[in-house]
Homo-oligomer: A and B are copies of this chain.
Amino acid sequence: MADPTEGSFSEPETEIMRATYRALREHGYADLTIKRIAAEYGKSTAAVHYHYDTKDELLVAFLDYLLERFVDTIRDVETTDPHQRLDLLLDELIFAPEEHRDLAVAMLEMRAQAPYKGDFRERFRGNDEYVRYMIKAVINHGIDEGEFDDVDADHVTRGLMMIVDGARTRAVVLDEPGALETARQTAAEYVDAVLT
């Protein structure tokens, strides 16, 4: 997978990604077209196609873009304390959908397409792998510092991702108030139970 810390988008590409973000939030995944993205971009569809041949290619780039933004957010976190860093990672992973519900709705639609679109699935897998890599690094750091028990960091990370993905799905499907807070609390209980 591409290293999301490189900042791989040119200026026009970043503009197209921002336009895609707005178009997805407004129209949802099913009704998204290059025409609608171009309208948000303020240029012609040809100007979009100059950078991305197809809608699917553009959307795969959009998944990279979201991961880069997530990585940027995490990098800005100043603390090096393992417990605090893990808390902040989980906050970011679980509460992000709350601030951008329209995007979370569109993302679940895209995720549901993964079995039909191999390039989506590969990108979801790559991004998941990267996020797990970040969580695992924090857990291993905590183990080295003696702050966490000597656990199987990979297994605990996968357990936490179950809770994160369950929260995201339930927040979109059931739209129940408090779902994300419950998930965050469950993640905290799981961390307390297995890491300390």
A residues near B (Cβ < 8 Å) are 28, 105, 108-109, 111-112, 114-116, 121, 124-125, 128, 155, 158-159, 161-170, 172-176, 179, 182-183, 185-186, 189-190, 192-194
8 further interface pairs, Cβ-Cβ under 8 Å (given A105-B115, A128-B174): A161-B166, A162-B166, A162-B182, A162-B186, A165-B166, A166-B167, A166-B169, A190-B193
- Max count, chain B CB within 10 A of own CB: residue among A159, A164, A175: A159
A159 contact from B105, B108, B182, Cβ within 8 A:
B182
Q: List the 5 closest pairs (A to B, CB-CB), nearest first.
A: A193-B193, A166-B166, A162-B166, A159-B186, A165-B166
- Max count, chain B CB within 10 A of own CB: residue among A162, A167, A190: A162
The reply to whether A170 and B174 contact each other, CB–CB distance below 8 Å, is no
Considering the complex, give the chain B residue whose CB is closest to the CB of A158. Answer: B182
Chain B residue contacts of A125, Cβ below 8 A: 174, 176
Chain B residue contacts of A159, Cβ below 8 A: 163, 182-183, 185-186, 189
The reply to whether B115 and A169 contact each other, CB–CB distance below 8 Å, is no
A154 CB, min distance to chain B CBs, angstroms: 10
Chain B residue contacts of A169, Cβ below 8 A: 111, 165-166, 168-169
